[in-house]
Amino acid sequence: VQLVESGGGLVQAGGSLRLSCAASGMVFSINAMGWYRQAPGKQRELVAAITSGGSTNYADSVKGRFTISRDNAKKTVYLQINSLKPEDTAVYYCNHQGGWYPWGQGTQVTVSS
């Protein structure tokens, strides 16, 4: 299994980003997928998840600002991030909702105030 994240960058507070994660080596459509993030000095946390059927769940800290979606034909999961805050600064990763697969390199999101 390989997971390749992209789309991060440096943005000002209030800005938006769209992260992408391309998956290979697995039957993508049957997997519940998640976006995680790890800020400096903190543990990796699950911030958004989407089931194979498209149901979504979010951490309280991102509800209303983050939207997870998936395109099974492209084997890609997305994370739309709006109203970015400095505390959203982290490396963002995708994985199975349970974190089962080898981690990719992640994509850095840095929010300036």
What is the chain's pLDDT, residue by residue, as a tens digit (113 residues)? 999 999 999 999 999 999 999 999 999 999 999 999 999 999 999 999 999 999 999 999 999 999 999 999 999 999 999 999 999 999 999 999 999 999 999 999 999 99
How high is the pLDDT of residue 81? 98
How high is the pLDDT of residue 72? 96
What beta strand segments (E) does the chain contain? Answer: 2-6, 9-12, 17-24, 33-38, 45-50, 56-58, 66-71, 76-81, 90-96, 107-112
The answer to whether residues 49 and 57 touch, using CB atoms and an 8 Å cutoff, is: yes
How high is the pLDDT of residue 48? 98
- Residue 22 β-bridge partners: 4, 76
The answer to whether residues 88 and 81 touch, using CB atoms and an 8 Å cutoff, is: yes
C-alpha dist (Å) from residue 76 to 38, 54, 101: 21, 13, 15
How high is the pLDDT of residue 33? 97
How high is the pLDDT of residue 55? 98
How high is the pLDDT of residue 20? 98
